[in-house]
Structure 1
Amino acid sequence: MSVARPAFSPSPAPASATPVPSRPGTPAAVVALAWDRLSRSPYWSVAGLLVALGAVLRLRQWAYARSFWSDELYVAHNIRERGYLDLLQPLAFSQSAPPGWLWLERFALEQFGDGERALRLVPLLFGLALLPLVAWLGRALLPPLAALAALLLVAVAPFLIGYSNELKQYSAEAFGVTLVVGLALLLVRTGPTWAGSAVFWSAAAVTAFVSTLSIPVTGALGVLLGGYLLSRPDRRWAGGCRDLGRFLAPAPAWGAVALVVYVLFLAPGLADPQLAAYWRAKSIYPARSLTDLAATVEWLAATYRSLATVPFVAWSAWVVVPLLVLGTAAGLRRLSAVAVLVLLTPLAAGLAGAAVSVYPFNGRLALYAVPACLLLAALAVTPPPLRAGLPARIRWVVAVVLLLALAVPQLATAVVATVHPARAFAQGGGANAVDYRDALRHLDDRRRPGDLVLATTVSWNAQAWYGPPTDAYVVAAGPGGCPKQSVSTLLPGRSRVWLFQATDWADGANRDVIVRLGGSGVAVAERQFSGARVVRFDLAAGVTKGNDVCLVPPPNGAAVR
Structure 2
Amino acid sequence: MVIRKSCKGQWMCVCETSDVVALERECADSQSRWQRFGTVMVWAVLLYGFVARLFGLLTRESLWLDETAIAHNIVFRSITQMHEPLVYNQSAPLGFLYLIKLNTLVFGVSDITLRLLPCLFGIALLWVMYQFTKQFGRLVLLAVLLVFTASYFQLEYSIQIKQYTCDGFMAMLAIIFACRCVERFQQRDPQAMRHLIWLGVFGVISTWFSFVNIIILAGIGLTLLIFFFMQREKRAVIGMFIIGGLWLLSLGLHYAVFLSSQDGNDFLKEYWVNGFAPFPPISLSDLKWYPAKYFYAFSDPAGFKLRYAAGVLAVFGVVGLWRWNRWQCVMVLSCLPFVFLLSAMKMYPFLGRVIQYLVPLFVLLVGFGIVAFSRLLFKRTVSQTIFAAVLILMLIVPSVSEHTSRIWLRPAQSDGHDTITRLQLHSDASQLIYTDRHTRIGFEYFATLHGVELNVLHDDYSYETGAQNQTLHEQTVLKLQQIINQTTNEAWLLVENYQPTDGSPSIETRLTAYLNLYGKMVDRYPTKLGVLLRYRFDHPAAKDD
- Determine which of 461, 467, 486 is the counterpart of 2:441: 461
Aligned pair in 2 of structure 1 residues 489, 380: CA closer, same or farther (>3 Å)?
Answer: closer
- Structure 2 runs not aligned, ≥5 long: 13-26, 187-191, 469-473
- Once the two structures are overlaid, the 10-residue window that deviates more, 98-107 or 507-516, is 507-516
| Aligned equivalent of 2:24 | none
Give the whole-Å Cα distance in 1 for the aligned partners of 2:544 and 2:526.
Answer: 23
Give the whole-Å Cα distance in 2 for the aligned partners of 1:229 and 1:508.
Answer: 58
Give the whole-Å Cα distance in 2 for the aligned partners of 1:435 and 1:462.
Answer: 10
- 1:284 maps to 2:275: yes
Deviation string, structure 1 residues 69-105 (Cα, Å, up to 9, x no partner): 1111111111122233432232111110000001011
- Determine which of 322, 333, 340 is the counterpart of 1:332: 322
| Aligned equivalent of 2:75 | 80
Give the whole-Å Cα distance in 2 for the aligned partners of 1:322 and 1:35.
Answer: 34
Aligned pair in 2 of structure 1 residues 441, 350: CA closer, same or farther (>3 Å)?
Answer: farther
- 1:22 maps to 2:5: yes
| Aligned equivalent of 2:456 | 472
| Aligned equivalent of 1:537 | 535
Aligned pair in 2 of structure 1 residues 27, 414: CA closer, same or farther (>3 Å)?
Answer: farther
- 1:69 maps to 2:64: yes
Aligned pair in 2 of structure 1 residues 525, 410: CA closer, same or farther (>3 Å)?
Answer: closer
Deviation string, structure 1 residues 310-351 (Cα, Å, up to 9, x no partner): 12222212221222122222212221x221121123444433
Give the whole-Å Cα distance in 2 for the aligned partners of 1:28 and 1:531.
Answer: 67
| Cα displacement (A) at 1:289 | 3.1
- Determine which of 91, 102, 107 is the counterpart of 1:107: 102
| Aligned equivalent of 1:371 | 360
Deviation string, structure 1 residues 481-519 (Cα, Å, up to 9, x no partner): 669988548855722212222233897555444344333
| Aligned equivalent of 2:305 | 315
Give TM-score scaled by structure 2 length.
0.81
Deviation string, structure 1 residues 351-386 (Cα, Å, up to 9, x no partner): 332233211121111111111222233233558999
| Aligned equivalent of 1:9 | none
Deviation string, structure 1 residues 401-423 (Cα, Å, up to 9, x no partner): 43332233333332443322359
- Determine which of 171, 182, 185 is the counterpart of 1:177: 171
Aligned pair in 2 of structure 1 residues 346, 249: CA closer, same or farther (>3 Å)?
Answer: closer
| Aligned equivalent of 2:393 | 404
| Aligned equivalent of 1:305 | 295
Output the amino acid matched with 1:517: L
| Aligned equivalent of 2:516 | 518
Output the amino acid matched with 1:284: G
Give the whole-Å Cα distance in 2 for the aligned partners of 1:501 and 1:187.
Answer: 54
Deviation string, structure 1 residues 531-557 (Cα, Å, up to 9, x no partner): 62121122327663597xxxxxxxxxx
Q: Check conservation: 1:194, 1:247, Cα contact below 8 A.
A: no
| Cα displacement (A) at 1:68 | 1.2
Give the whole-Å Cα distance in 2 for the aligned partners of 1:266 and 1:537.
Answer: 44
Output the amino acid matched with 1:268: S
- Once the two structures are overlaid, the 10-residue window that deviates more, 466-475 or 70-79, is 466-475
Give the whole-Å Cα distance in 2 for the aligned partners of 1:113 and 1:422.
Answer: 27
Q: Check conservation: 1:98, 1:209, Cα contact below 8 A.
A: yes
SS of match in other structure, 1:408:
helix
Give the whole-Å Cα distance in 2 for the aligned partners of 1:201 and 1:271.
Answer: 30
| Aligned equivalent of 1:255 | 248
Deviation string, structure 1 residues 151-191 (Cα, Å, up to 9, x no partner): 33222321111101001111111111111011112122222
The alignment-based identity, stated in percent, is: 20
- Aligned residue runs from structure 1 range 144-293, under 5 A: 144-191=138-185, 193-231=192-230, 235=231, 239-280=232-273, 283-286=274-277, 288-292=278-282
Higher-helix-fraction structure = 2
- Structure 1 runs not aligned, ≥5 long: 1-19, 424-432, 548-561
Give TM-score scaled by structure 1 length.
0.79
SS of match in other structure, 1:120:
helix
Deviation string, structure 1 residues 248-303 (Cα, Å, up to 9, x no partner): 454433332122123432243133111112122xx2223x4324263343111221
Give the whole-Å Cα distance in 2 for the aligned partners of 1:299 and 1:111.
Answer: 47
Q: Check conservation: 1:146, 1:378, Cα contact below 8 A.
A: yes
Aligned pair in 2 of structure 1 residues 485, 452: CA closer, same or farther (>3 Å)?
Answer: closer
Q: Check conservation: 1:488, 1:545, Cα contact below 8 A.
A: no
Q: Check conservation: 1:143, 1:382, Cα contact below 8 A.
A: no
Pairwise CA RMSD: 3.7
Aligned pair in 2 of structure 1 residues 543, 155: CA closer, same or farther (>3 Å)?
Answer: same
Output the amino acid matched with 2:175: V
Aligned pair in 2 of structure 1 residues 363, 536: CA closer, same or farther (>3 Å)?
Answer: same
Paired residues, number: 507
| Aligned equivalent of 1:295 | 285
Aligned pair in 2 of structure 1 residues 498, 177: CA closer, same or farther (>3 Å)?
Answer: same
